[in-house]
Amino acid sequence: MSDLDLDLDSDATLPGIDEGEIVVVRSNRRKKNISAYRAGGRIVISIPARMSKSDERAMIPEMVAKIRAQEAASTMSESALAQRIDELLRELAPEITIRPLSITWRAMRERWGSCTSADRTIRISDRLKGAPDYALDFVLFHEAIHLEISDHGEAFKAILSRFDKSESANAYLDGYEAAETALAMPQELKKLLNK
């Protein structure tokens, strides 16, 4: 790791950015250009090793904005999510007549989605932004079923089994979680960087 210097400068937290969401990688191989991409729930920004701290502080917000703009362009709006749930229920579970009052994207690291049937709200993990349609549809359908069936019993399973790409969706979601776990920064490295 001689050509990389991971920089998690915690005193330069940017507005609207969670601590640990951004990882800056300084590379001796990189001469001029800067790149940014999303990996493991973080925004990774790769910069030349010789870039000054002031230039870095100026460039980071631009790169974060660029990544977020790309994600927003490829992300369904919350009204489109509601429309998709309506389509899925009409097609696969017409007996479920309750529709959510609100559907929101949320930062969720432990779940793919959640439903509160009492107030008819559904929350979808922002980790699904940019996911294949079948994976997002599976989570939307799963949560929409909870509007009427609160548990994961036989009635729930019978309706969920109507989603014909459930095996592929589960494989995608499991693979995503495995990759996210593998890419998570080891605790030992976090301790070294925070000294």
* Mean pLDDT calculated for residue range 175-187: 74
According to the model, what pLDDT value does residue 12 have? 43
* pTM confidence score: 0.63
According to the model, what pLDDT value does residue 182 have? 74
Candidate CATH numbers 3.40.50.150, 3.40.30.10, 3.30.2010.10, 1.10.486.10; the one for domain 78-182: 3.30.2010.10
- Residue identified by tokens 């030992």 is 188
Residue extents of the structural domains in the chain: 4-72, 78-182
Write the pLDDT tens digit of every residue in 104-122. Answer: 998 888 899 999 999 999 9
